[in-house]
């Protein structure tokens, strides 16, 4: 069943935001000497990223930065709690790498949105050029329709017009 056209960009945005949360969150966590996730932890992180992406798709006015900050926090918290290394919970290196991961994801999303907009314009242009059939000539002559002018009396009355008194 085809999706309505107005839901496709929102779902794509949600998928990109959720994927960026998971990818940059895991990368930032590993860059700060955190534990890489096991398979079960990775599945929980992916489920959280899917939930964040679904929220970003459902709420179109939600800023990307807010979704990414929540996503980075959720991914970090899940990786710390499920890996068993709770001493990594609050460290400056974790805060810096997750902040840089959020900014990198935000820049990537902005670049993808600009690229998608440009690509959409190019597709519309190519399709319109390929389907152009030239001007069609009409077989009928144009009709001239005369518009009756309002009587001069009504022009002087202003807003009164033809309206009568209210019905009781």
| Interval 51-83: pLDDT, tens | 999 998 888 788 888 999 999 889 888 888 887
In this prediction, residue 134 has a pLDDT band, given cuts at 50, 70 and 90, of: low
Question: At residue 118, what are phi and psi to the nearest 5 degrees?
Answer: -65, -40
68 lies in a domain?
yes
In this prediction, residue 34 has a pLDDT band, given cuts at 50, 70 and 90, of: confident
C-beta of residue 10 within 8 angstroms of C-beta of residue 40: no
159 lies in a domain?
no
Quote the tokens at residue 46. 């992916």
164 lies in a domain?
no
pTM for the complete prediction? 0.65
| Domain with 106 in it | 7-130
139 lies in a domain?
no
109 lies in a domain?
yes
Looking at the structure of the chain, the number of domains it has is: 1
6-14 mean pLDDT = 74
54 lies in a domain?
yes
CA–CA dist 122, 117 (Å, integer): 9
Average pLDDT score, the chain: 80
In this prediction, residue 157 has a pLDDT band, given cuts at 50, 70 and 90, of: low
83 lies in a domain?
yes
Q: What angle do CA 22, 65, 84 make, to 5 degrees?
A: 35
What percent of the chain lies above the pLDDT cut of 90?
15
141 lies in a domain?
no
Higher pLDDT, 100 or 1: 100
Tell me: pLDDT of 161 over 70.
Answer: no
């Amino acid at each position: 069943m085809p999706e309505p056209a107005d839901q496709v960009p929102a779902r794509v945005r949600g998928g990109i935001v959720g994927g960026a949360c998971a990818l940059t969150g895991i990368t930032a966590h590993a860059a700060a000497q955190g534990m890489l996730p096991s398979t079960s932890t990775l599945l929980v992180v992916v489920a959280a990223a899917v939930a964040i992406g679904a929220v970003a798709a459902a709420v179109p006015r939600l800023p990307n930065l807010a979704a990414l900050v929540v996503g980075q926090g959720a991914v970090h918290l899940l990786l710390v709690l499920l890996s068993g290394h709770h001493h990594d919970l609050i460290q400056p290196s974790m805060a810096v790498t997750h902040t840089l991961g959020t900014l990198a994801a935000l820049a990537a999303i902005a670049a993808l949105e600009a690229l998608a907009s440009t690509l959409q314009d190019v597709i519309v242009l190519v399709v319109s050029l390929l389907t152009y059939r030239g001007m069609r000539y009409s077989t009928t002559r144009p009709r001239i329709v005369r518009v009756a002018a309002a009587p001069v009396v009504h022009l002087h009355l202003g807003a009164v017009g033809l309206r009568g008194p209210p019905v009781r």
